[in-house]
Each structure stands twice: as structure tokens, then as C-alpha cells.
Structure 1
Amino acid sequence: MSENTTPLPDFTRWPSFPFEGDMRVKKLAPPVEVEPPRSGEDASDCVACGTPDDSYIWVSERWRVRAMDRPTGLPMVLILECRSHLDLGDLPNLLAAELGVMTVRLERAIRSLDGVARVHVNRWGDGSAHLHMWFLARPYGRLQLRGTFLSLWDDILPVVPESQWRENLALVAAWLADFGGQANAEPAHIAWESPATIDVPTGMDGDNDRRPSTLGDVEAAEA
């Protein structure tokens, strides 16, 4: 078996390329005569069509926005889907026009989040037949993440804290809901319980029996 000696392309030396060290180009597989069907070519087998609205962070009459199942390395990764089982080239004029409006609106919503510099918008369509547009937020100041490889960095960067992720989802959903539709995402709820008792330190100056009137007084006494 001969070794692949194809030279590495220039982009492997870009600062944004996430890998380094010894690499080689994969052997290119021969083309197939007939491409296999994508997932959900038939609407009856389409995952998007069968997913209920409460799995999305925002829904409207013709569009839905969903997030990943859990936080990842980027501040925000969202997917815009149309309700109708259509691909990009199949959209009627109304949905095609709305896609432009929704793309701009969702980009603005994500870019309004703290720490977001740019929003990358991608459509591949090789895996699923149902139209879905990807929106990936690039963290502010992370110049190494600029450009083509942002989706790869999403799997490499440390995972965003879940509370921050949920807060961002709620903010984006609320932004979209200002223009219509329904926001389903909510910020993370704080699990807080009041203490059963409060220990008050005993003083030595005759105020032993005086009980602090507020929790702030307790904290000041303990300081």
C-alpha cells in the first residue's frame, strides 16, 4: 500500500487551524454512482417534523429555533428550521423572504449577548433533508477562532457553564418573541432554601438580648 504524499494545504498553517504536529492528507475515496438518501427525505421519517414545540427555544407559525442538548464550547450554537418539510431550494417565495428576515433577526439576537463578537451562519444540508441553518457565536477577543474552523473549535474549547448557557438561551428566545412567536427557553432557576435557624453571636456589652432585625445585621455581627 503506497503512502499518501499529497502536500498539506496552506490552511494547515493558518493561526485559526486547530491542529498542529505531524499530519497527512486522507486518501480520497472513489465517488459513488448513486448517493444515499439523507436522513428524513420522507416527511414521515423526519426527526425535525416529529419533534414537539417544547423542544425548541422559540417557535412561530412557520419557523422554529432549537439549541443543542447541552452547552458546548462556543457561547451559543442554534439551529433555525422552517416548519414545512422543505429544503432551501424548495422554499416558496414567502418562506424564502422570511428566511432572510429570520436570519438577520437571529444573528442580531445572538450578537446582543455578552462576549459575542460575530455570528457565523452556515447551511450544509448533507446530513438531513429538512432545511436547517446553523448559527455559531464566536467569542469576543478570540481572534484564533476567526473564519472557517469555528465549528471545529466548538468541540475543543472548554464547555460553557450551564447556567450561563441557559441564561443566553432565554435572552435569545425573548429577543425573538419581541417580534412574535413564543419563547420557550427559561433561565436557570436558583435552588435556594432559607435556613431553618439563624445563629446570633452573644455579645459582652449588655446587648446580649438584642436580636438583629435583618439578615444583614447577622452578617455584620459575624464579620
Structure 2
Amino acid sequence: MMLNHDLKKEFQVERIAFFSDAVFAIAITLLIIEIKVPEVHGERFSSAEIVQGLFALIPKFIGFIVSFFVIALYWVNHHQIFKYVVHYSPKLVWTNLFLLFSIVMMPFSSAFYSDYWLSYSAVPLGFYVVNICLTGFMNTRLWYVVSNPANKLSEGLTNRAFVSYCKARSMIAPFVFLLSFLVSTFSMRIAYWCPGLIFVFMMFLKRYYRKKHPELFIK
């Protein structure tokens, strides 16, 4: 009887993880669907016109690349969290659903931001920043729910430094996008390139934790 109960719990946890993987996969696929093949009108057109059409898509491609790696970052985080989950609860399910809600919003907010980045309006960037911040907050919240011993949802999450590192890493993207929003108040063009700082901050965060907690990075 106990074995059947444990198997049922394991099955339910796997269902949550598989459903989440599907949502991440769909969201990351929808990003590229937003980019259409450039239209060149007329029966005869030159290579220069095609290249010009491709250049017009550069903002969309940049938005796609940034959002792809942001979603990928949170998928890796999500995968890392569920390695330790052995039980489930309504709190876990709903926290996970709110995270997935913010993920499926990403293709729209990314397209909105990419289409209007040269409009010098703070609204598209602000919408995208809110989406990223919600994602980061819900990912951090998921870490808190899973790692809290009182919730009895995980096994093996005894290293608090590791949990702290994962929480900090999940907040890097929101921090960088908030920074880009502040930069946009005096230069939209500079703000557009700020997301590249995500990888810089991740590198420094890893270096900091490697120095203070080298045991976290021993394979």
C-alpha cells in the first residue's frame, strides 16, 4: 500500500514536470514564429532589396535571441528545482502555474518590445520588463517553496548556499532588465543592448560563489 502511494506521488510530480517542459517548449517555439520571412514586392527584385528586408528584421532577431536565452535560463532553473522534488502540494502546483503563465507571455511581450523598440516609447520595454520580473520572482518563489523544510516537498536540498546561489541567479535577468528600463529614460538605443549584461552578471555571481563555496562546483 505504501509503495503504491509513493508511486502515485512520484507520478504526480512527473506530470507537473512534463507539463512544465511542454509549456517551456511551446513558448520557446512561438518566439521564432513571430519572425516572418521578409516580403519583397514586385516580380523582379534585387539581392540588395532582400538584404534590406533582412536588416529590417534585426530587432526581431535580437528580441528572439534574448528571449530564447531568458526562457532557456529559467527552464534550466526549473529542471534543477524538480531534481529535488519528491512530493507535491497545491502551493507547489499554483506557484509553478504562475511561473508558466509568465513564460507563455514571453513570446507576446518579446514581439511587442521588438516591434516598437525604435518608437522611443517606454511602454513596450516596460511591458517586457514586467514580464521578466514576474518570471524571476515566480522562479525564486518556486525555489523558496521547494527548499522550505516545512513544506516537505524535497529531498537533498540541505545546502543553503546552493539554494541561495540558485535564487540569486534567477533574479539576475529581472535586475538587468530593470536596469535597462532605467537606462531607457535617457537612451533607448543603449537600453536595447543592456540584456547582454545578463551573462556578465552570471559569470561574476558564479565566480563569487565559487570563491566562497567551492564545494558547490565540485563535480
For this structure pair, what is the TM-score category when the shorter chain's length is used for normalisation? under 0.3
The answer to which structure has the higher strand fraction is: 1
The answer to which structure has the higher helix fraction is: 2
Q: So what's the TM-score if we normalise by structure 2? A: 0.24
